[in-house]
Amino acid sequence: MNTTDPTKRVVRARRIQFVYPAGTLARHYVDGDLVTSHAIAFLSSTFPEGEDFFVRSVRRFAGEITDPELESQVQGFIGQEVTHGREHRALNERLYEMGYPTRRGERTVRRILRRYERFLSPLTCLAITASLEHFTAVFAETLLGDERAQALLGSTEVRSMLLWHAIEESEHRSVAIDVYRAAGGTERRRIWAMRGISVSFATGIVVNSTLSLLGDRATYNPIRLVRSLAALRHSPFLSRAVQHRVAAYNKHGFHPDDTDNTALLNYWTAELFGEKGRLVDHLR
């Protein structure tokens, strides 16, 4: 159950599993769109190593938390992120078999995050985690709140998995930043971490999606490629509203709960995991 007070929200991992039998996903599984299919495949490839990094970053400061509510949320956060990593590894293997270079994406992200941990302080790694959690929460709530975003994924198992992932990202969206502040993190470090991550995140998506596209024969159909690139202008994930929500993180005193997501979470929790929820049969 979610409460109207986000600080008392229960964050609990769901025991769930998704399967992707051969032949159940079209080659360009995001509404037949070339560029978006490759972009989401790359983003999926970032999650297993990214989630592990998030868990390590938060866990390093778990001993400094004195608030029992936050302590409970941290345990739920860890459980959710571990499950997200496992389920994205399964999806990434299926996408790899379909021709997407998801294994290369995982190796690339692993190398980058290990460098962060080697050369940056634990508190800065936690600030980076909070920044990336903001990105995922904004994109997650865009998926949950915009029918155009949901329509892109049709009725595939990928849609089901991403909706579940979106719910849990929205549930724990404030945990990393609350741990960061409990550990004494400053606004200056938080904002500078976000500025750096914003550049590397956007660059990473563009570069790696391009490399992925170069391995797809459909990319060399100029009409299809141009149409797909032109469609990005209307993507719900690149709208001005999304850009403004991402940028809000750079304001002093920002907190994820400045935007109330209680109604959205309550609706989708009932829709997917209620008595007749669509994903009840996926729970183990």
Query: Which letter does DSSP use for residue 127 in this model?
Result: H
The arithmetic mean of pLDDT across residues 183-195, rounded, is: 98
- pTM beyond 0.85: the answer is yes
**By three-state DSSP, how is residue 16 classified?**
strand
Q: What does the alpha-carbon distance between residue 140 and residue 165 come to, in Å, rounded to a whole number?
A: 8
Of 177, 211, 149, the C-alpha closest to 6 is 177
In terms of phi and psi (left: phi > 0; alpha: psi -120 to 50; beta: otherwise), the region of 276 is alpha
Q: Which two tokens stand for residue 171?
A: 């549930």
CB 176 within 8 A of CB 130: yes
Mean pLDDT confidence for 17-37:
94
pLDDT confidence bin for 9, thresholds 50/70/90: confident
pLDDT at 90: 97
Rounded to an integer, what distance in angstroms lies between the CA atom of residue 225 and that of residue 92?
A: 23
pLDDT given at position 22: 85
pLDDT digit string (tens) for 219-269? Answer: 999 999 999 999 999 999 999 999 999 999 999 999 999 999 999 999 999
Domains of the chain, residue spans: 26-282
Residue 135: per-residue pLDDT: 98
